[in-house]
Chain A
Amino acid sequence: MLQDHRALDLTDGEGQLCGRILGDLGVDVIRVERPGGDDSRRVGPFHKNVVHPEKSLWWYTLNANKRGITLDLTKRDGRDLFKRLVKGADFVIESYGIGRMVEMGLGYDVLREVDRGVILTSITPFGQTGPYQGFKATELTILALGGFLYGIGDRDRPPVKPNYPLAKIASAVHAVGGTLLADQYRHATGEGQHVDVSSQAGVPWFTQNAIYWWQTEHRLLLRSGRAFVRRPDLDARAIWPCKDGHVLFQIHGGVVGITSNKAMARWMAEEGFGDERFHGFDWDRLDLAKTSQEELAALEDVVAPFLMSKTTEELAAGAEQRKILLGRIDGIRSLSKNPQLASRDLWTSVEHRELGASLTYPSYFFRSSEVSCGIRRRAPLIGEHNDEVYGEIGLSKEEILAYSQAGVI
């Protein structure tokens, strides 16, 4: 969709997803690495568990749909070449620490002199300015300061993190939005700008109910094990163990929820679960604004053994048939067999000739009635497109060779 746009991608780690998404949207993304390859290639897991810069699985995913060149930005010649690349580019995206681009002589002011329309997008843990400017950060500390960690886990232990770099991944997704908003303005005026993305500031988007409970009622939402906090004084069980794993279910209020509750109670009755008191309960009377913790827990205690008696598959199938609001918690392995994803052709096989193998990739993040956003190319090998890209800015074969021998390329 964004044909005719070019991005120079200087990001590392999860920030590389920004360029990947731009690439999916049709931008010609050039991943610029230091000679020998970036450190992001050293992040595991690796293909067949072989630790090698051309075998990182995160590298593959985050750099598909990009071309790759090597360039030493710490050398003067390298910076000059970079500026020549900037002339033909629309976006420069980077995730160095604050001030690093300026130190290298490639700050926004310098890039703007090269091309006043260029959009520089910088992804940092806290943004370019402010009291945490000098802070060191990791995924864990960003999730902490962004307010997400506090709400996860059991009350008898500290809060606990997800086994996924959610804050930094989200930040890369946000960076695309900032870049493309700036691009809208650039098309209207010809002016670029410096887009300043803060990973910390992206995290509270995941946990706004906690903010609004505090702002409105001065109440904290505490972590609650496998329950969801309906009100600060009412935990509703949300994750339930079943025969072979866990499922998602809640006793709900509201019209939709009560219909679901009743259907669950009927299913339990059919199978001989639940006592007279449970089956005599008037679901229409249930108002989670007023229900006490004891009242709700008494109902949940009756539902629990029923869910425990069935497998995820049985529960999901039964719930589907009976219009019960119940979800499954699957493992990662189920993704490749999920019938919904299969019917939408989410997964596609991409050949890695250098590995003698094909790997499974998602072919889109949305489907369009007009445009295909599939994978056009696998992630680049180290310097794979040096000849092609430097040729495009007018370097001869001899010049490329000379730069290469000088360690610039």
Chain B
Amino acid sequence: MAQALEGIKVVDFSWVLAGPALTRYLADFGAEVVLVESSGHPDIMRTSYPFRDDEPGLNRSTLWANFHSNKYGIALDLDTAEGIDVAKRLVSRADIVVENFIPGTMDRWGIGYGELAKVKPDLIMVSISLYGQTGPYARRGGWGSFAEGMSGFWNLIGWSDRGPSSYQSVIGDALVPFFGLNAVLAALDFRRRTGKGQQIDLSQLDVCSYLLAPLLQDYLVNGVEASRSSNRSPGSSPHGVFPCAGDDEWLAIAVMNDDEWQSFCAAIGAPEWRDDPRFRTFAARKSNEDELERLIDARTATWSADRLMYVLQKAGVPSGALRNGRTMNSDPQLQHREMFSWNEHPEIGQVSSFGTPFRLPLTPPTSRTAAPCLGEHTEWVCTQLLGMSSEEFIDLLNKGVFE
């Protein structure tokens, strides 16, 4: 099968989440991605849970493995002149460089955009950061959550009568790579037409703020500041998450109009609610929403979430069972989309990689190899991709450059 990014070469200096996810997509669609790491300062995700057999080890994190399948891995000590030289040789044959260190780090090594553009004038370099390459916060360290918090995203999550809620996930770190993909693909097109490369300065704070713009406008123009809204919705009732039979099983239900309300009452076995003056109209349901939700809670609690979802869907009522870490693996629709592909990893056996949200029938993503062990392809990359002689390779190896 053809590959959308056939022939595109990427040097990947990235770590943690936002950079690695971007290069994963590039690799999935056929780009050759060489991941540059160091054993002195391994990616903190390599040392993050969960580990195969609950046994920590640099090559044992399955979450790390997910973000690095289809890549080649080379270990390189960028604190040595020879290491920098090898890095530049890799870049000289590449189209794209991706990095997400604290701004200034690549410059300190002498491999900032200015230096790399000397080696490869039409290079596309993607620099991802929390706050951007410029500005007073540029060199602040921190986690992705800090940009989400500063942008106002976090203030929108949770119950309106309680403080912001945590979520066992990421928002900015999951969105930024896709914005990066969009920018880098546009940059490839720009290069095709003009012959010019560029540096792409992509920040989580910018991206989160970009997405929240209508909410900011609402505040600036109307004086309304969006905040947490619990599970209700101004245009829909009932609209919420209801308990189902079993332990911690839930069903999301969103009744969008009176027709759906009629169908909902019949399907859930409470036809008497249809003409109950407390619930008959949208306005009535809104003013008696507490009571309505209590009654629904009592009904849904006797159903399995999946069973009730299918019954309501058959009646034309929007509903969805809450999937979790376990049931995302068995969701029939996600299975139909082939969301997981499995590869054999030399140290931890079968590991899965998570698929892309879009399907391209002529150029589907491919799953070729599991994530590399640290430095797994060092010799192959140096001798095969860079054409280094065995003598030179051994010499550099003895000098500790590949650590």
Minimum distance in angstroms from B343 CB to a CB of chain A: 13
Known pairs A48-B222, A212-B63; A330 contacts B178 (CB<8 A): no
CA distance A57 to B224 in the complex (A): 12
Q: Are B360 and A225 in contact (CB under 8 A)?
A: no
In chain B, residues 121-160, which have Cβ atoms closer than 8 Å to a Cβ of chain A?
131-138, 140-143, 145-146, 149-159
Q: Are B357 and A330 in contact (CB under 8 A)?
A: no
Q: Are A4 and B193 in contact (CB under 8 A)?
A: yes
Is the C-beta of B373 less than 8 angstroms from some C-beta in chain A? Answer: no
CA distance A206 to B113 in the complex (A): 30
Interface hub of A222, A289, A329, A332 (most chain B Cβ within 10 A) = A332
In chain B, residues 249-271, which have Cβ atoms closer than 8 Å to a Cβ of chain A?
250-254, 256
Q: Mark A344-376, 1 if CB is under 8 A from B, else 0.
A: 101000000000010111101111111100000
Among A182, A213, A340, the residue within 8 A (CB) of B205 is A340
- Residue of A with least CB distance to B167: A152
Q: Using a Cβ–Cβ cut-off of 8 Å, how many residues does chain A contribute to the interface with B?
A: 151
Contacts of A357 in B (CB 8 A): 221
Minimum distance in angstroms from A1 CB to a CB of chain B: 4
Q: Are B217 and A173 in contact (CB under 8 A)?
A: no
Q: Are A177 and B318 in contact (CB under 8 A)?
A: no
CA distance A354 to B331 in the complex (A): 49
Is the C-beta of A193 less than 8 angstroms from some C-beta in chain B? Answer: yes
Q: Mark A236-280, 1 if CB is under 8 A from B, else 0.
A: 001101000011100000101000000000000000000000000
* Contact count band on B: 35 or more
Is the C-beta of B363 less than 8 angstroms from some C-beta in chain A? Answer: yes
Q: Are B155 and A1 in contact (CB under 8 A)?
A: no
Q: Are A220 and B362 in contact (CB under 8 A)?
A: no
Q: Mark B230-252, 1 if CB is under 8 A from A, else 0.
A: 11010010011111000010111
CA distance A213 to B206 in the complex (A): 31
CA distance A131 to B166 in the complex (A): 32
Among B47, B141, B165, the residue within 8 A (CB) of A152 is B165
Among B168, B229, B252, the residue within 8 A (CB) of A210 is B168
Is the C-beta of A138 less than 8 angstroms from some C-beta in chain B? Answer: yes
CA distance A362 to B169 in the complex (A): 26
Among B206, B231, B321, the residue within 8 A (CB) of A158 is B231
CA distance A369 to B142 in the complex (A): 25
CA distance A343 to B137 in the complex (A): 10
- Residue of B with least CB distance to A137: B318
Is the C-beta of A227 less than 8 angstroms from some C-beta in chain B? Answer: yes
Among B133, B138, B150, B181, the residue within 8 A (CB) of A338 is B150
Minimum distance in angstroms from B218 CB to a CB of chain A: 4
Among A149, A206, A361, A368, the residue within 8 A (CB) of B213 is A361
Contacts of A126 in B (CB 8 A): 333
Contacts of B192 in A (CB 8 A): 187
Minimum distance in angstroms from B368 CB to a CB of chain A: 17
